[in-house]
Amino acid sequence: MKILAIFIAKIILFVTRITHLGGGTTLPGLVATKIDKNVIKKISERLKYGVVIITGTNGKTTTAKILTEILTEEGFSVLTNPSGSNLARGIASSLVGAATLSGSVEADIAVFEVDEATMSEVTTQLRPKIVLVTNLFRDQLDRYGELDKTAAIIGKSLTGFSEMTTILNADDPLVSSLSDYVEGRIIYYGLEDTEISTDSTAAMDSKDCMFCGHELEYESRYLGHLGRWKCPNCRRIRTKPHIWVSEISLEPLKSSYSLKLRREELKIEMPLPGLYNIYNALAAATIATLIGVGAPAISHALRSCEAAFGRMELIEVSGKKIMMLLVKNPTGANQALAAIFSDNKAKKIGFYLNDNFADGTDISWIWDVDFEYFDLAKTKFVASGNRAEDIALRLKYAQVDKNYLHSEKDIMIATEKLAELLDEGEIGYLLPTYTAMVEVRSHFVSKDDQLCDMGKVTKHGI
Ligand SMILES: [Zn+2]
């Protein structure tokens, strides 16, 4: 059955690729698991270093990408699942695509990002060596329901694996509470920097103690409900992390910090902006350390990990300037947001979402954009494109005030609206998917205007 499952799945993979029909990231896995429901388990058992799973609300994609870069630097051959296909069938497709008909795999290790809701199914099948939980923020209701229910789903998926190492974000009280479910070893990561602190109450999704319901107290709060927390009632307190980051300095297009591994302390300057990218880098470095990757490979990979920027262009609309940054996946959108919010000031942002073929017809990736990591209070948004309502809903879940959110399907009208919101001399930001960008350009960019590269763009002040 296994050979038949892999064989048929590979034919589907081949056909969807040559016909450009799409569905190649999920359909083969769906079919393979229908033919042999244990196909994931059978193939993953052949991986020399096993399976690593990254779950949680925000940061999965970037953490997986940075970890893959570190492991590749160390000489590992890494199997990953494409971003946006992090449900069980996407993972099955990745494994089937990498397997020979006999079920052996070329890769040394698999790094999979997994949706919270599918964790139980995936851990049972894959029996991962390491699971990392990034953080838990409120997500869309139709997928997961309440936040503590999501925590319980992840918690149960961690139970029963005494051989597995679980890595938890010490700064997230809800993630920390998952320790009660874990039977194996637990490693904590977090920030040890009292200088970094926010007063924003945006994305305070989990402000009460999970054990007694009393409101938590924070010595310092880093992002949303992440910080140095304690419960004054039941006396639960943040665990001091085993691997941590301190001496953080944030700049518009890069960040620098000190990374304390088990033995070494590394000074890192990383070409990725934003505190949330430091969390992602720290999470990836923690996993890499546990796998046994040395400090030189971690240091080298973090110093050279490039932001997945799309192209940028400064356009003029009704005498106002708007910086346009193409977005097509969560990693790119996160880097764009990190650059835009590097000064933590309120902004005016257009997010235009189309689902035409050239954009990718599956728009579920917007739920993997880490909006909750940024202080969106007072930032005004214009949602547009043929899926304007979906991006507006996503922003609503990121706690954007409805008075600060305009939804307008017509891209031309939406762009005029964005320009109208801008004060004199203020730069607006526009994050369009591919065909939305083409449409914006057709209205507002004359043919002889040149695209500007990153070097020129930075002069305009992001
Ligand atoms: Zn308590």
214 CA to middle of ligand 1, Å? 5
Model confidence at 235: pLDDT above 50 = yes
Residue 269 in domain:
yes
Residue 243 in domain:
no
* Per-residue model confidence (pLDDT) at position 141: 45
> 295 with 424, same domain?
no
11 CA to middle of ligand 1, Å? 54
222 CA to middle of ligand 1, Å? 20
146 CA to middle of ligand 1, Å? 19
* Per-residue model confidence (pLDDT) at position 145: 55
- Going by pLDDT thresholds of 50, 70 and 90, the confidence category of residue 268 is very high
> 427 with 300, same domain?
no
Residue 218 in domain:
no
The whole domain housing 435 covers 312-459
168 CA to middle of ligand 1, Å? 19
206 CA to middle of ligand 1, Å? 12
pTM: 0.78
> 281 with 404, same domain?
no
Taking the alpha carbons at both ends of the chain, their separation in whole angstroms is: 55
> 277 with 318, same domain?
no
Model confidence at 167: pLDDT above 50 = yes
> 364 with 298, same domain?
no
175 CA to middle of ligand 1, Å? 14
What is the tally of structural domains in the chain?
2
348 CA to middle of ligand 1, Å? 39
Model confidence at 139: pLDDT above 70 = no
Residue 14 in domain:
yes
Average pLDDT, the chain: 85
> 322 with 299, same domain?
no
> The CATH number of the domain where 411 resides is what?
3.90.190.20
Work out the average pLDDT over 27-37.
70
Where is pLDDT greater, at 279 or 361?
279
Residue 380 in domain:
yes
Model confidence at 92: pLDDT above 90 = no
pLDDT digits (tens, 9 = 90+) for 331-340: 778 878 888 8
> 80 with 125, same domain?
yes
> 389 with 284, same domain?
no
Residue 333 in domain:
yes
pLDDT digits (tens, 9 = 90+) for 424-441: 999 999 999 989 998 998
Model confidence at 23: pLDDT above 60 = no
Model confidence at 459: pLDDT above 50 = no
* Per-residue model confidence (pLDDT) at position 131: 98
Last residue of one domain, picked from the residues 251, 277, 304: 304
Residue 355 in domain:
yes
> 89 with 177, same domain?
yes
> 165 with 56, same domain?
yes
Residue 328 in domain:
yes
Q: How far apart are CA 104 and CA 98, in angstroms?
A: 8
Q: How far apart are CA 411 and CA 350, in angstroms?
A: 10
> The CATH number of the domain where 49 resides is what?
3.40.1190.10
> 52 with 157, same domain?
yes
* Per-residue model confidence (pLDDT) at position 256: 95
176 CA to middle of ligand 1, Å? 13
Model confidence at 177: pLDDT above 50 = yes
> 158 with 100, same domain?
yes
169 CA to middle of ligand 1, Å? 18
Model confidence at 309: pLDDT above 60 = no
List, as ranges, residues with CB under 5 A of the ion ligand 1: 209, 211-212, 214, 231, 233-234
Model confidence at 451: pLDDT above 50 = no
Work out the average pLDDT over 109-120.
90
* Per-residue model confidence (pLDDT) at position 460: 31
Last residue of one domain, picked from the residues 304, 331, 360: 304
pLDDT digits (tens, 9 = 90+) for 43-80: 888 899 999 999 998 888 889 999 999 999 999 999 98
Last residue of one domain, picked from the residues 273, 288, 304: 304
250 CA to middle of ligand 1, Å? 33
pLDDT digits (tens, 9 = 90+) for 383-419: 999 999 999 999 998 889 999 999 999 999 999 999 9
* Per-residue model confidence (pLDDT) at position 12: 65
* Per-residue model confidence (pLDDT) at position 450: 38
